């Protein structure tokens, strides 16, 4: 027996498949259904990315402009006016290396968070495992981040900083931000289907996460005895690791804080996913 | 072979509910509820529970064999769309199950996932994949889809520049090429221009003829009777009738009448009329004498009345039939000219309603028996909706529609002689 309405029906050509639809169809064989619908992840990602890059007059430039302008303002405010110390790293690079992981987290979270709404017209008409939508929203965020990372090329050439072998660890560093970002996003996407107000909470959380993370400064400005708590924020570890990868600054996470943030990230992902799955079946009846 | 089996299917919606229905609500309301629950101050327990449940479908069971073109009719809220939604898996049933053998595609999904910024070609891929086609399959069918949609020149134009007609054509073209085993249609014929409507209709007929099954939900009962070979009628979420389209449409208009096409009051021992005259029976039959609920729009049929006159009356007793449309308009009254005063006895009157005279759709027939006394008349009986007949237009190009896919307005649709020449 094979599930095959809508997506994944390609397997139906040779033999006649049988679909059984009952009250809990969606809960069975979920992984298999997602796998069969994997094409859709690429398709949705491509659709949104193509449109985003085609629609805006500046195209790809927009993705680069956002962090670039933020970097300029932060450099001016924190570096020039407030004279926040940046160690050996040029201030612009310090900011950018905080900004990109934060953007990766924040835009991932908010993009995933409202993805179900953006796709409500599709969701109400065609069946596919709903998790495809947030997953492809996140994939789009990965692409944007890859493009934005290109900003480092001219800047590092300008400041004459050569990357070391540690650059190979870059994917690992960003991967560490995925569970918290995706987990929160899944949670919020499902919540905002049920409670419309969550749409308004997202931008606030995005802003909050910017100030709660060491974007405009190095994380050692936080007092020693608070470091463990500070590191609970998964972005603190990610941003510090990213700076270690790029600039060879020390990476010395407090053990408790690091363990705590790993645990927190894992919880966010697991609970976000579970909540999403629980609410998923009733999306259509609500949207 | 059955391609679709539906067993005890039910779907419940909770309107305004917070628990099972997961209805969208504001956070404040939800918090307020949980607070009042915690402190036991929930005053409106009844109201809370009173968020009424609503069964959109209740215990529906039926099977669909290969090659069936099943019409699904019912009034608004009868559960037709919910049934299609469950079949296309966009919503889940609350109880029961559904077995589908093969691939389904539904035209509920015309243009689903279309993005206005993307070109026609890109949207074909997007929509095709959503409808369950593989990349190779879409590539293979690309030419056919483009041809069907008639958008060759605009293939690489973003669809936001398309006219609404082009948009719909493209959507239908993709859906029509999915090659489903079961095609689900919901009121799709209402879209597009005339020529395209005919094309869609043809495509649907073709699908049915190639042993695919079509499930067609529509308010256009004439379209149902033209396209379908079986029909179910839903009322308040329940399946109340399953049979030929003509019977189902009869039931749609009139719940209780079981013997349309043939009435025999004599046998039933029912007295219809007054002390002067009474109706014994009535029937509608095709020209070969077979009682019928349905007639082809091109063919004549006859209405026969049997009646008895018991007393000597001072004028001719004239049988007459009134044809009514479902909206209550009287289409016409037919009565014989030059009827004579026949005196007591049993009589049979037959009138032939010509072909290509009535419009397609349902007519209910009121039967009456009237004696005209010169200065006044007396109606011995008037039986509303005594008989019903569905006039079926096959819409196959032989009935002078010029491809028009909708219902012609008018109580009748007579064919007249026309002369058209150059001036």
Per-residue pLDDT tens over the stretch B369-389? 999 998 899 999 998 888 888
Chain A's closest residue to B137, CA to CA, is A10
Give the count of Cβ contacts less than 8 A between chain A and B: 144
Chain B: closest CA distance from residue A14 (Å): 10
Chain A's closest residue to B131, CA to CA, is A6
Residue A102, phi-psi category: left (phi > 0), alpha (psi -120 to 50), beta (remainder): alpha
Chain B: closest CA distance from residue A208 (Å): 21
Chain-chain contact of B109 with A126 (C-beta, under 8 angstroms): yes
pLDDT at A111: 93
pLDDT at B209: 72
Tell me how long chain B is: 423
The span from the CA of B184 to the CA of A260, in Å, is: 52
The span from the CA of B16 to the CA of B171, in Å, is: 34
Q: Which residues in chain B have their CB less than 8 angstroms from residue A17's CB? A: 101-103
pLDDT band per the 50, 70, 90 thresholds, residue B348: very high
pLDDT band per the 50, 70, 90 thresholds, residue A9: very low
**B26: nearest CB among A123, A124, A195:** A195
**A40: nearest CB among B89, B129, B137:** B129
pLDDT band per the 50, 70, 90 thresholds, residue A4: very low
Q: Is the pLDDT of residue B189 over 80?
A: no
pLDDT at B188: 58
* Structural contact between residues B243 and B71, judged by C-beta atoms closer than 8 angstroms: no
Chain-chain contact of B90 with A17 (C-beta, under 8 angstroms): no
Chain-chain contact of A279 with B22 (C-beta, under 8 angstroms): yes
pLDDT band per the 50, 70, 90 thresholds, residue B127: confident
CB B385: neighbour CB atoms within 10 A? 14
Nearest residue to A17 (alpha-carbon basis) of A40, A36, A41: A36
Chain-chain contact of A282 with B30 (C-beta, under 8 angstroms): no
> Among the listed ranges A218-227, A230-239, B127-136, B203-212, which one has the minimum average pLDDT value?
B203-212
C-alpha distance from residue B35 to each of B21, B22, B23 (Å): 20, 18, 19
Chain-chain contact of B95 with A40 (C-beta, under 8 angstroms): no
Q: Is the pLDDT of residue A136 over 60?
A: yes
Chain A's closest residue to B130, CA to CA, is A7
Percent residues over pLDDT 70 in chain A: 90
pLDDT at B21: 41
pLDDT at B22: 43
Q: Which residues in chain B have their CB less than 8 angstroms from residue A43's CB? A: 125-126, 129
Higher-pLDDT residue of A25, B315: B315
pLDDT at B310: 94
Q: What is the mean pLDDT of chain B?
A: 83
pLDDT at A109: 94
Q: Is A181 exposed, middle or buried (0-12, 13-18, 19+ CB in 10 A)?
A: buried
Contacts of A1 (CB under 8 A, 6+ apart): A17, A18, A20
Chain-chain contact of A21 with B109 (C-beta, under 8 angstroms): no
Q: What is the mean pLDDT of chain A?
A: 85
Q: Which residues in chain B have their CB less than 8 angstroms from residue A193's CB? A: 22, 24
pLDDT at B258: 54
**B111-120 tens-digit pLDDT:** 777 888 888 9
**A16: nearest CB among B96, B101, B132:** B101
Chain-chain contact of A127 with B88 (C-beta, under 8 angstroms): yes
Chain-chain contact of B23 with A286 (C-beta, under 8 angstroms): yes
pLDDT band per the 50, 70, 90 thresholds, residue B176: confident
**B276-334 tens-digit pLDDT:** 999 999 999 999 988 888 899 999 999 999 999 999 999 999 999 999 988 778 999 99
Q: Is A132 exposed, middle or buried (0-12, 13-18, 19+ CB in 10 A)?
A: buried
Q: What angle do CA A193, A101, A233 make, to 5 degrees?
A: 75
The span from the CA of A4 to the CA of A18, in Å, is: 8
Q: If you average pLDDT over each of A23-32, A42-51, B67-76, B312-321, which comes out highest?
A: B312-321
The span from the CA of A151 to the CA of A166, in Å, is: 18
Higher-pLDDT residue of A53, B314: B314
Average pLDDT over residues B142-153: 89
Chain B's closest residue to A16, CA to CA, is B102
pLDDT band per the 50, 70, 90 thresholds, residue B47: very low
> In this prediction, does ipTM exceed 0.90?
no
**A179-202 tens-digit pLDDT:** 999 999 999 998 888 787 777 888
Chain-chain contact of A125 with B98 (C-beta, under 8 angstroms): no
pLDDT at B30: 65
pLDDT at B39: 58
Chain-chain contact of B25 with A195 (C-beta, under 8 angstroms): yes
pLDDT at B72: 93
Chain-chain contact of A126 with B90 (C-beta, under 8 angstroms): yes
Chain-chain contact of A43 with B126 (C-beta, under 8 angstroms): yes
Q: pTM score > 0.90 for this model?
A: no
**A282: nearest CB among B22, B26, B104:** B22
Higher-pLDDT residue of B45, B304: B304
pLDDT band per the 50, 70, 90 thresholds, residue A134: very high
pLDDT band per the 50, 70, 90 thresholds, residue B194: low
The span from the CA of A115 to the CA of A193, in Å, is: 10
Q: What angle do CA B120, B103, A7 make, to 5 degrees?
A: 55
> Among the listed ranges A2-6, B167-171, B392-396, which one has the minimum average pLDDT value?
A2-6
* Structural contact between residues B183 and B107, judged by C-beta atoms closer than 8 angstroms: yes
Q: How many helices (H) and strands (E) does chain B have?
A: 10, 19
First to last CA, chain B: 60
Q: If you average pLDDT over each of A266-275, B39-48, B149-158, B252-261, which comes out highest?
A: A266-275
Calculate Rg over the CA atoms of chain A.
Answer: 21
**A81-132 tens-digit pLDDT:** 888 777 778 888 889 999 999 999 999 999 999 898 888 888 887 888 889 9
**A196-212 tens-digit pLDDT:** 777 788 899 999 999 89
**A245-284 tens-digit pLDDT:** 998 888 888 889 999 999 999 999 999 999 998 888 777 6
> Among the listed ranges A48-57, A238-247, B51-60, B354-363, which one has the minimum average pLDDT value?
A48-57
Q: Is the pLDDT of residue A12 over 90?
A: no
Higher-pLDDT residue of A286, B22: A286
Average pLDDT over residues B9-19: 72
Q: Which residues in chain A have their CB less than 8 angstroms from residue B86's CB? A: 21
């Amino acid at each position: 027996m094979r599930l095959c309405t809508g997506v994944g029906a390609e397997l139906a050509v040779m033999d006649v498949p049988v679909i059984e639809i009952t009250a809990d169809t969606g809960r069975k064989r979920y992984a298999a259904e997602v796998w069969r619908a994997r094409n859709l992840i690429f398709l949705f990602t491509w659709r949104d990315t193509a449109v985003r890059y085609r629609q805006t007059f500046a195209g790809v430039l927009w993705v680069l402009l956002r962090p670039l302008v933020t970097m300029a303002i932060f450099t001016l405010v924190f570096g020039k006016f407030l004279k926040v110390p940046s160690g050996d790293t040029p201030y612009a690079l310090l900011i950018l290396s905080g900004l990109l992981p934060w953007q990766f987290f924040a835009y991932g979270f908010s993009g995933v968070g409202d993805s179900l709404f953006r796709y409500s017209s599709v969701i109400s008409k065609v069946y596919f495992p709903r998790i495809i939508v947030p997953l492809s929203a996140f994939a789009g965020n990965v692409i944007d981040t890859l493009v934005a990372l290109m900003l480092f090329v001219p800047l590092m050439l300008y400041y004459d900083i050569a990357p070391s072998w540690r650059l190979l660890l870059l994917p690992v560093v960003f991967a560490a931000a995925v569970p918290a970002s995706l987990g929160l996003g899944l949670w919020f996407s499902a919540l905002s289907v049920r409670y419309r107000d969550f749409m308004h909470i997202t931008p606030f959380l995005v802003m909050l996460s910017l100030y709660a993370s060491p974007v405009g400064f190095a994380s050692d400005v936080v007092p020693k005895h608070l470091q463990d708590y500070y590191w609970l924020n998964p972005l603190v570890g990610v941003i510090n690791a990213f700076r270690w990868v790029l600039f060879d600054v020390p990476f010395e996470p407090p053990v408790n804080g690091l363990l705590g943030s790993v645990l927190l990230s894992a919880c966010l992902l697991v609970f976000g996913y579970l909540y999403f799955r629980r609410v998923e079946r009733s999306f259509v009846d609500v949207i | 072979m059955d391609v679709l089996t539906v067993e005890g299917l039910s779907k419940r919606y909770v309107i305004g509910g917070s628990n099972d229905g997961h209805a969208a609500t504001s956070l404040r309301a939800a918090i307020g509820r949980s607070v009042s629950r915690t402190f036991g101050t929930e005053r409106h327990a009844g109201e809370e529970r009173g968020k009424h449940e609503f069964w959109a479908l209740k215990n529906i069971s039926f099977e669909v064999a290969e090659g069936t073109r099943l019409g699904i009719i019912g009034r608004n809220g009868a559960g037709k769309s919910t049934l299609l939604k469950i079949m296309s898996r966009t919503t889940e049933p609350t109880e029961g199950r559904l077995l589908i053998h093969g691939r389904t595609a539904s035209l509920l999904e015309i243009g689903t996932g279309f993005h206005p910024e993307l070109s026609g070609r890109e949207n074909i891929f997007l929509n095709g994949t959503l409808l369950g086609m593989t990349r190779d399959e879409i590539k293979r069918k690309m030419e056919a889809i483009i041809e069907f949609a008639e958008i060759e020149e605009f293939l690489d134009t973003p669809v936001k520049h398309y006219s609404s007609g082009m948009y719909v054509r493209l959507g239908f073209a993709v859906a029509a090429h999915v090659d489903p085993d079961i095609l689900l249609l919901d009121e799709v014929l209402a879209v597009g221009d005339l020529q395209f409507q005919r094309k869609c209709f043809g495509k649907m007929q073709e699908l049915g003829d190639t042993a695919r099954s079509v499930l067609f939900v529509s308010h256009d009962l004439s379209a149902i009777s033209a396209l379908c070979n079986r029909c179910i009628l839903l009322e308040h979420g329940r399946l109340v009738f399953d049979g030929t389209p003509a019977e189902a449409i009869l039931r749609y208009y009139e719940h209780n009448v079981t013997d349309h096409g043939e009435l025999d009051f004599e046998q039933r021992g029912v007295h219809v009329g007054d002390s002067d005259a009474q109706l014994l029976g009535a029937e509608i039959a095709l020209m070969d004498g077979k009682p019928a609920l349905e007639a082809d729009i091109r063919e004549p049929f006859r209405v026969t009345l049997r009646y008895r006159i018991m007393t000597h009356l001072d004028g001719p007793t004239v049988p007459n039939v009134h044809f009514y449309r479902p909206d209550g308009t009287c289409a016409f009254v037919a009565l014989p000219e030059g009827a004579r005063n026949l005196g007591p006895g049993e009589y049979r009157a037959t009138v032939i309603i010509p072909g290509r005279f009535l419009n397609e759709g349902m007519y209910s027939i009121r039967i009456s028996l009237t004696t005209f006394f010169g200065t006044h008349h007396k109606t011995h009986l008037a039986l509303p909706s005594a008989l019903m007949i569905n006039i079926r237009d096959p819409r196959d190009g032989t009935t002078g529609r010029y491809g028009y896919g909708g219902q012609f307005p008018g109580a009748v649709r007579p064919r007249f002689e026309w002369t058209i020449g150059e001036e």
